[in-house]
Amino acid sequence: PDREGEAIGWQIKMRLFKDKNVLRVVFHEITPAAIKEAFSHPRDFDLKMIEAQASRRILDRIVGYFLSPLLWKKIVRGLSAGRVQSVALRLLVERERLINNFIPREYWEIEAELSKITENREQRTETFLAKLEKIEDKKVEIKNKSQADNIVLDLNNKPFIVSEIKKAERKRYPSPPFITSTMQQEAFNKLRFNAGKTMMIAQQLYEGIDIGEESPVGLITYMRTDSPNVAPEAIKGVRGLILKEFGKDYLPQEPNVYKLKKHAQAAHEAIRPSLISHSP
């Protein structure tokens, strides 16, 4: 259901069925209901998506024709370089060079353990740590131990005044639905899976698993995506499940909506269970 799929379908149409009325059918999950729904709403091919795919292929060649011969010379013949990993590798190398060229500079911090003055000065209240930020409204830069010691001596006999207390209420929101990168991160954090293993398992879940039904069932939506958007029918299904299993106190009045990252392609929806009726 992306630019590449659009271009492949269009190429087949132009070469094999040029004089026939061929339409495009798109589905985002491999389930009988999703496929039947897709075939009930076919559409014309989107030339903008086809041209976007052609642009991607051109970029691959612009990058690849320069870089691939270098790989053949330095590593092994037959390797190819593309528009994505090549640029990512360049960014990593530049960052590594910055790290290697970094010149460390000594700096010091001063903290004071403070407590409130009570009527009975012997009685101590709960203490808290305060970090020295400014001296006479000027930001502090302490470059060595002797400078730090002099400041501490100067502060020893001076009163500390709390000039302002800020109180704020913070709300915690659920994490966004999985995209490829967050799924890989969570699989590593929780299960110590590397990215390759995570994607291999996700591919199997997407293509179909035997769960005792007539044929294998695709259990998740497409696992290569950068969009947190979820299909309306899936939101409707999960809201019904929350209401049934947990009650209305746990159901927001409106579904949560998550913003796309600035340069997200959003060719696919988020990674989610394709069938909410199947529990883990």
Active site residues: 222
Q: Quick one: tokens of 276?
A: 């909410």
Upper half-sphere CA count for residue 130 (Cβ side, 13 Å):
14
User: CB atoms < 10 A from the CB of 222, how many?
Assistant: 22
d(CA 69, CA 79) in angstroms, rounded, equals 8
d(CA 133, CA 210) in angstroms, rounded, equals 62
Packing angle of the helix pair 47-74, 3-16 (nearest 10 deg): 100
Q: Quick one: tokens of 69?
A: 């011969």
Going by C-alpha positions, the residue among 39, 31, 36 that lies closest to residue 274 is: 31
